[in-house]
Amino acid sequence: MTEQEKLVRDFIDIVLIRENRAAAEDYFATDAQIVGLEGVAHSSRFEFLRFLSMIQSQFAFVRFEIMQAICDGTWVSLMGQLVVIERGSTRTSDERFQSSVRIEDGRIVEAHFFTDFINFFESMGRLPPRTLDRCLTGERLRFS
């Protein structure tokens, strides 16, 4: 395991699973770019922490299983499985994810995260079942 891969694994364990948001400063550069979590990229550690706080107030990360890690210079690419539980209920979501992270001077400076958020929110009861299929067949979902 490379130092870069260990840094990413430690970040997942300490900041996401153990919910030690203060430790994020040890892992992210101040001006880190984070893509794929919301409709717009996050352009600082502060924006990422705001997003993380919003998510962790609703959901707990139960497990991140890294099935494949590929390191190439300053980049680490991960493929894995994550399990999330909704706080205050028993709803869980078991999703695959892919992430590519660039590390410089021992800190994450760029991260791209991709998962099936539509399926995630369907399994949490926040979107109707088969949302993607319904959109692909031309149905217009209406929310009131």
Q: Which domains are present in the chain? A: 3-136 (3.10.450.50)
pLDDT in tens, the chain (144 residues): 888 999 999 998 998 889 998 888 889 888 888 887 766 677 778 888 888 888 889 888 888 899 999 999 999 999 999 999 999 998 888 999 999 999 999 999 999 988 888 888 888 888 888 888 888 898 887 877
What's the N-to-C CA distance of the chain in angstroms?
49
| Global model pTM greater than 0.85 | no
d(CA 29, CA 109): 5
d(CA 26, CA 105): 11
